[in-house]
Amino acid sequence: MTKTLNIAMIGGGFMGKAHAMAYASMPMFFWPAPAIPHRKVVVDVTDELAEAARQRFGFDEASSDWREVIARDDIDVIDICTPNNVHAEIAIAAAKAGKHIICEKPLARGGEEAKAMLDAVEKAGVIHMVAFNYRRTPAVALAKKYIDEGRIGEILNFRGTYLQDWSADPDGPLSWRFQKKIAGSGTIGDIGTHVVDLAHYLVGPISAVSALTPTYIKSRPLQSGGVDKLGASEKNSGAPRGEVDVDDEVVSMLKFECGAIGSLEATRNGYGRNNFITLEIHGTKGSILFNYERRDELQVMFADDPADARGFRTVYTGPAHPYGEGLWPIPALGIGYSETKIIECYDFFNAIASGEQPSPSFADGYLTELVADALITSGETEQWVKVQSLTAADKRTAVPA
């Protein structure tokens, strides 16, 4: 009989919706499931918000006190879907209580907090994972497979972008994503870290960065209420304004430990771009292209193709590709954001069932925070900045690329 594990999910906003959907759907896709996630308690800041989330997302109970929930014996997993400022406090308390933890990205507001979280989970011996779900897109996992098999040779160059436009309007509200004390940083932590995670997954650790990190919109209308409406439709031009103290954009050159070079660009002010995550990777034997807005497809070029057939080919992911056994029966039926979260849930519960740390673990999340710190410092100093390396002890639960 498949074991049932009780989930307490903290934070019932955008990610609360995505994670609740994944808990309900995972066994429908991946059967036999490694365990059945049971939606036991959802927590938000007030009883009213928690109760609304309970009804909407199908949990048994609602609470406005995450400390009390973490202390309960009948909870197996703590799922952190709150803004970044409380990730560390919740994760450390959950680790002390012996709970397995999945935490939304970015792991923390910087390397120092992330290190404390890593130390806590390692000491507790629990399973830990950071929810960088884009690496769970089947086409990205297929790119990883080709790279690991040596199909494009040694990696020379990585170009990663994450371009959005939801914050391009100067009258979009001052949500938590524009406040350093809550978010830690702006575009760097919010979406730049997704690109860093993809770079680490596909190429290996970044060793140095040289970044520009401008803030274009220095103040925004104050927002009432906590949930980030991501740019919002309400017009706030007459409202009192508050200071934006985080970056709007990051553009950086990269050096990798393996000797490859590369670049990273992320912005939330690029009009016309929505969720434009692109990867272009050149190797000594071929190249790979990926565009999340066409996420069923991986473009590959193999240099040893006959001269008259050389060029990029399009592979539509399906049953023959990573995670294909659980998804849809023929290629190109459509992979969505939901599928990436369902796969993430599957990998997390597999890790709990097997006792083996999943990737990205908190160690991987910590390394990504060290790159984020280096990007911030480089942006401030306009100098190349080396990324602090993980110690041998910290690397124990980092999954090598």
Binding site for ligand NAI (CB under 6 A): 10-15, 43-45, 49, 66, 81-84, 86, 104-105, 131, 133, 190, 226-228
Kind plus residue range of the DSSP H or E element containing 253: strand 249-256
Q: Which is nearer to ligand NAI, 10 or 327 (CB)?
A: 10
Q: Which is nearer to ligand NAI, 30 or 132 (CB)?
A: 132
Among 63, 82, 84, 164, binds ligand SOE (CB under 6 A): 164
Contact 312, 301 (CB under 8 A): yes
CA 294 to mean position of chain CA atoms = 19
Q: What is the CA radius of gyration of the chain?
A: 21
17-49 burial, b at 16+ Cβ within 10 Å, e below that, comes to ebbbbbbebbbebbeebbbebebbbbbbbeeeb
Which residue type sits at 78? Answer: I
Q: Which is nearer to ligand SOE, 83 or 331 (CB)?
A: 83
DSSP category for residue 394: G
190 lies in the site for ligand SOE, by CB under 6 A:
yes
DSSP 8-state class, residue 398? P
Is 191 a binding residue for ligand SOE by CB under 6 A? The answer is yes
What residue is closest to ligand NAI based on CB? 13
Nearest residue (CB) to ligand NAI, 10 versus 279: 10
Displacement of CA 246 from its chain's centroid (Å): 19
Q: Provide the minimum distance between the beta carbon of 104 and ligand SOE in the complex, in angstroms, as a whole number.
A: 8
Find the distance separating the first CA and the last CA of the chain, reported in whole Å. 35
Select the binding partner of residue 7 from ligand NAI, ligand SOE, none (C-beta < 5 to 8 A, by kind): none
Q: Please state the separation of Cα 182 from the chain's center in Å.
A: 17
Asked if residue 169 binds ligand SOE (CB under 6 A), the reply is no
Which segments of 189-271 does DSSP mark as H helices, in order? 193-202
Cα gap 155→283, rounded to integer Å? 4
Q: Which residue, 20 or 208, is less far from ligand NAI as judged by CB? A: 20
* DSSP state letter for 281: E
Q: CB–CB of 87/103 below 8 Å?
A: yes
Q: Please state whether beta strands 261-267 and 276-283 pair in parallel, antiparallel, or not at all (unpaired).
A: unpaired
Nearest 5°: the CA angle 217, 223, 225 is 145
What whole-number distance in Å separates Cα of residue 165 and Cα of residue 11?
Answer: 25
Count of residues binding ligand SOE (CB under 6 A)?
5
Q: Which is nearer to ligand SOE, 169 or 394 (CB)?
A: 169
- The answer to whether 268 contacts ligand SOE (rule: CB under 6 A) is yes
Residue (51 or 169) nearer to ligand SOE, CB: 169
Work out what residue 86 binds among ligand NAI, ligand SOE, none; the CB cut-off runs from 5 to 8 Å by kind: ligand NAI
Residue type at position 143: A
**Residue 191, binding choice from ligand NAI, ligand SOE, none, Cβ under 5 to 8 Å by partner class:** ligand SOE
Q: Shortest approach of ligand SOE to residue 199 CB, angstroms?
A: 16
Report in angstroms how near the CB of residue 298 gets to ligand SOE at its nearest. Answer: 20
Residue 164 binds which entry of ligand NAI, ligand SOE, none, CB below 5-8 Å type-dependent: ligand SOE
Site for ligand SOE in 216-245 (CB under 6 A): 230
Q: Which residue ranges make up the site for ligand SOE (CB under 6 A)?
A: 164, 190-191, 230, 268
